[in-house]
Structure 1
């Protein structure tokens, strides 16, 4: 997934269709020179509809489509014929997309299931024809309703990746390497910070043909919740994950301190993230000797399931997958 092709935020202008006007018409036939009113109703304007599509992973297809407009309904006709409805416009979006009102920031829709449809902006109602206004005292009504105008709004679409496990860690903590050995995903990997510039998803095969999805989120730094580094842009993707897997390398000088910084940044961004189930993986254990590893074990954060792994040597990965599957199927309360 190239960085230029991963788009998780777009702002678009949407306009639903106007309703068609009702008809003011009277029945006129050869032997019925003064027939009653028979004006038909106008057709409804087209809706703007969001539709979840599991085949999409990004909002790239909407990046250059800033204006989306639905057709208006046709006017009614004589003979009580209703005008045709305006054609609805469907906007396909990936699962996990949230639509917000650009001015009020109000959530207008949230799509999490394939095929789910939500009317973002309803089309205007068609006006009633003059046949509806006939009464005992008014046999020839000379008016019909105009169509209701459509709605126009600026809408923000945000994508929050749907994954079972989200990888959380500082830049160069080994998240991309772990994803590459656990799944078929091939993220960019290098020995410098911020190698990962976009989130990556990988499907991890487990025992008996089971599987779960892992999301590699670009590295967080201290102050990310205030906009430092890349973290603020991608922290929202963590909100959708069922379990957060914290990755801290064995070469870190203060593992408990790093864990606390990461936790603080997540909770500062969204306090609800404090309720997420957590697992801790100490990575790059191939770079540490037994003395250092024993020292690490004595200073681990309390009440957090922990596993020691090496992605390069593929050490501890089976144990990690077992722990993640157990946590996903019977989550525990976070500390």
Structure 2
């Protein structure tokens, strides 16, 4: 039997997983009209993965959400080559995909220290540009956070994911008998006796149609992309989301969860996965578990 230490999960207060920013590279410096020379290039704007950073911290520290590279220095009698403008760095959490407004990917921050150039500074003036400098690139960018975890809990609402967290750790997520109790991800670490640590993410419950952005939709599914392994949590008795929706057995729940992941992004179904059958203390749970085992061994016969 593997024993796991009880370690608190870190909760994301006012959790944010996307942020839109305005960035502009610095303008280049002027060349000296009388003697020529070269103006300094404007500073670039970078997004840099930084430890213990969150998107909420970025928003709170920079409420205007504007980041400008420094201007290049002008050419002068004492220095015909103007100084380069100062770069501007935007600290961001690990796990960020940086995109433009039209969805073009500029880069990803997968490890601390990773850097993405988001706005290049303008060139300084030269005799070949009539001594006039160039403006820096200007655009809106989006920082899109996808949680990175060793294990991600996947299940329909009220499947018992939060209860499982409580059993594994000293976390105290909200638990109730109604469907949507987890509205934002939680991520933390479990430590084994040999001090090996794994990170585990409790993610909001899926619903049918999530791949087309129903319910939490893409807000949930994008976090599944960077988990190394999935843990499907299924109620042995099945579930019914609402009185107007059909009842789904435990086997149907497994099929539907797999389907939602595949329809969102096909490669997600190639991730290693485990199945946790929950609520085994309910009446007839053992019989339903045996039925589920038979169905899983012969899925085509159902």
TM-score by length of 2: 0.84
Instruction: Return the offset for 1:251.
Output: 2.0
Cα shift at 1:24: 2.6
Distance in 1 between the 2:297 and 2:104 partners?
Answer: 38
1:280/1:221 Cα in 2 relative to 1: closer, same or farther (>3 Å)? same
1:317 paired residue number: none
Name the SS of the counterpart of 2:149 in structure 1: coil
- Deviations for 1:42-88, whole angstroms, at most 9, x for unmatched residues? 11211111000121244452374332222211211114443232221
Query: Would the alpha carbon gap of residues 210 and 2 (structure 1) be closer, same or farther in structure 2, given more than 3 Å must change?
Result: closer
- Looking at structure 2, the residues matched to 61 and 302 of structure 1 have their Cα atoms a distance apart, in angstroms, of 51
Judge conservation of contact 1:7–1:60 (CA < 8 Å) in 2. no
Other structure's SS at 1:170 match = coil
Aligned to 1:222: 208
SS in 1 for 2:194: helix
Q: Residue 230 of structure 2 is aligned with which of 244, 248, 256?
A: 244
Q: What is the 5 A alignment of 1:138-177?
A: 145-177=131-163
Structure 2: distance between partners of 1:198 and 1:301: 34
The secondary structure found in structure 2 opposite 1:300 is: helix
Deviation at 1:256, TM superposition (A): 1.6
Of 116, 121, 124, which aligns to 1:126?
Answer: 124
Provide the residue aligned with 1:53 in structure 2: 50
Of 6, 29, 32 in structure 1, the residue corresponding to residue 15 of structure 2 is 6
Q: Distance in 2 between matches of 1:47 and 1:302?
A: 58
Corresponding residue for residue 82 of structure 1 = 81
**What residue in structure 2 maps to residue 260 of structure 1?**
255
Of the three residues 284, 288, 293, the one matched with 1:292 is 288
Contact preservation (8 Å) 2:58, 2:91: no
Distance change >3 Å, CA 288–CA 58, structure 1 → 2: farther
Rounded to whole Å, the distance in 2 between the matches of 1:16 and 1:272 is 37
Deviations 1:117-169 (Å, cap 9, x if unpaired)?
222111112223x5xx8xxxxxxxxx852212101111111000000111100
Aligned-residue offset at 1:3: 7.0
Q: Which residue of 2 aligns with 1:269?
A: 264
Q: Which has the higher contact order (CA 8 A, sep 6+)?
A: 2
Residue 116 (structure 1) aligns with: 114
Contact 1:20 1:75 in 2 (8 A): yes
Aligned residues: CA RMSD: 2.3
Q: Who wins on radius of gyration, i.e. which is larger?
A: 1
* DSSP-derived class of the 2:296 partner: coil
- Which blocks of at least 5 consecutive residues in structure 2 are unaligned? 1-9, 239-247
Residue equivalent to 1:43: 40
Q: Are the counterparts in 2 of residues 50 and 118 from structure 1 also a CA contact under 8 Å?
A: yes
In structure 1, stretches of 5+ residues that fail to align are 26-36, 134-142, 304-335
Alpha-carbon distance between aligned partners in 2 of 1:189 and 1:178, rounded to the nearest angstrom: 10
TM-score, length basis structure 1: 0.76
Q: What is the number of residues matched between the two proteins?
A: 278
CA contact (8 A) 1:41 1:80 kept: no
